Amino acid sequence: MKANLVRVLAVVCAWAWVVGCGRSSPPQSAIPHALPEPPRVATCEPGQPGGRLVLVAAAPPRTFNPVFALDNASDQIARLLFGVLVQFDFASQEVVPGLAESWSVTSDGRQWTFKLRRGLRWSDGHPLTSADVLFTWNDVIYNPRIRVPLASVFRLKERGFAVSAPDEHTVVVVTPEVFAPFLEFFGSVPLLPKHKLQDLARGGNFLLAYGVDSSPDKIVGAGPFRLKESRPGRYTLLERNPEYWTTDRTGRRLPYLDELQIVVTADAGDAAERFLSGQSDVCERIRSQDFTRFQAAAAEGRFRLIELGPATERDFLWFNQNTNVNRISGQPFVAPHKLTWFRNAAFRQAVSCALDRERIAREAYDGRAVPCETYLGAETARWYNPNVPRFAFNPNRARTLLAQAGLQDRTGDGIVEDEAGRVCEITLLTNAGNPTRAKVASLIAEDLRRTGIRLNVHLVSFDTLERKINEEFDYESAFMGLSGGGADPASHLNVLQSAEPLHQWFPNQPQPASDWEARVDALMEAQMRTLDFAARKQAFDEVQAILAEQLPMIYTVTPIRHVAVSASLANLRPAILAPSPVAWNADELWLKIR
């Protein structure tokens, strides 16, 4: 589940160092300085430098300022332009050194010490030291005048982290209490150059920094690439950062690529056409309707079609368990008798057992999906618990569970009724404009009808669906999904904790509405307050078991994700959890033939 709930559009205004859009600039540093000591050494196979890699994006970036890069397009570019203390290797699902060569933590789990590589440089050649780390945190992220959205993640009980630097190569961070995902979360925040941005931070004009109209030579970072040219709404062109602090094992400085261009496409169909016509090197999202064409073209040897396995994007249905009433009308959000059904675990288990997931995969996804019954899938290898209760397709079991919930066919018409004779008829909302989702919803309705539940599917606009789910709460059931998400359990807090807004079936609870939700709350809090992986895993394993038993979210299938890549692209390490499954390790990629 993705944790970036707030989306910020940086307001970019004309200012002294901000120039007209589309301007390209000469290199910032023609002669690179010596490598830092020690450089980071990548484990990739040695490659050859040169060439331009062309990627596509569904939308243009809104900003080049990494602390406001909350949309996918901005985040993709920020990952390429800026450096971090530690990096997350999406292939191994492990944290590895970045700008910091090492780190340590005290026995109480609250004081962390990072050792920076000596001789680090920003892309303009200026030294990068601990002063830049302090600036990033104390002058920007924790600056109350700037209001950085991610600052709230790094406050515990309203207290921020104490960030200090005893010398130019050492950073010490003290947290108010143990913060389990500290290394991955704190360490992966992009660092900002004090020498370029301190005046803006002091003046309270930080929203002006690093806008999409900024002159490329003013965008200074410490990532593998730097900005060469920006054509807002059309493309972003990056070039190799000559001061990058990583080498391959032969000592050659990375990245290999001369340039990396990200082109904005009108839609997914345009992205497919661009790739199939040879205008881009990677297609990271192949639509179901395009798969046959890609498969045929790949057979001709024009490119490689790679199966990544089950994706992280999964749709699910849920029933509204909100016990509150509308403050204006005084009426309950859900009819009391239906609320009784929805809050009964046996009812939700029956619905899960009624779903023929194999059929859904076959008919809605042409077989390119696998049944999904659990909150996490095996793709999250480090945290996945395979030993949870399962309520797979079993119509007889579904009818038995419905009877346990007090619902039986009392009239012989094939539809179950409760003890008061009320027909089990439910309205399911899902969004229009998504043919696959609409197909799945219709299959769900057919499956439930066979079990005795009359499900009426209503297709509404996505805006209407979001409003009813997140603001009005006057619906019975819904079918949609949450996508993305990190590997760490902390990434799931906004869904699993009862007080959070993405606790879809009953959000924003002042107190847990059920014993099992209270237990999930306690377990999620407990795993956040220890650095012992075994203890965290045990707690999150139990959370997954509770969710599998209670089924507040009833999953259907997981699509199998395929990507297409140019035959000349080397050093691929595809990772299903990465925001960009193919290009996440762009500093290691190289082109064999150009």
Residue type (1 letter), 29: S
> What pLDDT, on a 0 to 100 scale, did the predictor assign at position 485?
59
CA 580 to chain CA mean position, Å:
10
> What pLDDT, on a 0 to 100 scale, did the predictor assign at position 30?
58
CA 173 to chain CA mean position, Å:
26
Rounded to 5°, angle at Cα 67 from 66 and 68: 90
Question: CB-hemisphere CA count at 13 Å for 51?
Answer: 21
Q: List 303's β-bridge partners, or say none.
A: 566
Report phi then psi at 136, rounded to 5.
-55, -45
Within 522-584, strands assigned E span 554-555, 557-566, 569-570
First to last CA, the chain: 39
Report phi then psi at 252, rounded to 5.
-75, 135
Tokens found for residue 92:
């191994």
- Cβ proximity of 339 and 513 under 8 Å: no
> What pLDDT, on a 0 to 100 scale, did the predictor assign at position 484?
57
Whole-prediction pTM: 0.88
**How many Å apart are CA 468 and CA 14, to the nearest integer?**
39
> What pLDDT, on a 0 to 100 scale, did the predictor assign at position 594?
55
Name every residue whose Cβ is closer than 8 Å to that of residue 92 and which is 6 or more positions away in sequence.
none
Q: How many angstroms separate the Cα of 503 from the Cα of each of 482, 493, 550?
A: 11, 9, 14
Tokens found for residue 220:
């200074």
**How many Å apart are CA 450 and CA 454, to the nearest integer?**
9
**How many Å apart are CA 387 and CA 548, to the nearest integer?**
10
- Cβ proximity of 40 and 246 under 8 Å: yes
Three-state DSSP class for residue 183 = helix
Within 347-461, strands assigned E span 369-371, 425-431, 454-460
**How many Å apart are CA 552 and CA 31, to the nearest integer?**
58
**How many Å apart are CA 267 and CA 211, to the nearest integer?**
24
β-pairing, 111-116 vs 155-156, is unpaired
**How many Å apart are CA 18 and CA 216, to the nearest integer?**
10
Three-state DSSP class for residue 323 = coil
β-pairing, 40-41 vs 246-247, is parallel
Rounded to 5°, angle at Cα 108 from 103 and 111: 40
Per-residue pLDDT tens for 467-492? Answer: 999 999 999 999 998 765 567 999 99
Name every residue whose Cβ is closer than 8 Å to that of residue 412 and which is 6 or more positions away in sequence.
none
CA 238 to chain CA mean position, Å:
23
Tokens found for residue 25:
């600039």
pLDDT along the chain (594 residues), means of 10: 30 22 44 94 96 95 94 94 96 94 98 98 98 98 92 93 98 98 96 96 87 94 97 96 98 98 89 95 90 94 93 92 93 97 98 98 95 91 94 98 97 96 98 93 98 97 94 96 77 94 95 98 97 97 98 96 96 93 96 79
Dihedral of the alpha carbons of 434, 62, 145, 99, in degrees to the nearest 10 = 100
CA neighbor of 220 nearest in space, from 24, 88, 64, 8: 64
- Cβ proximity of 172 and 138 under 8 Å: no
> What pLDDT, on a 0 to 100 scale, did the predictor assign at position 349?
98
Dihedral of the alpha carbons of 22, 26, 31, 32, in degrees to the nearest 10 = -20
Report phi then psi at 272, rounded to 5.
-65, -45
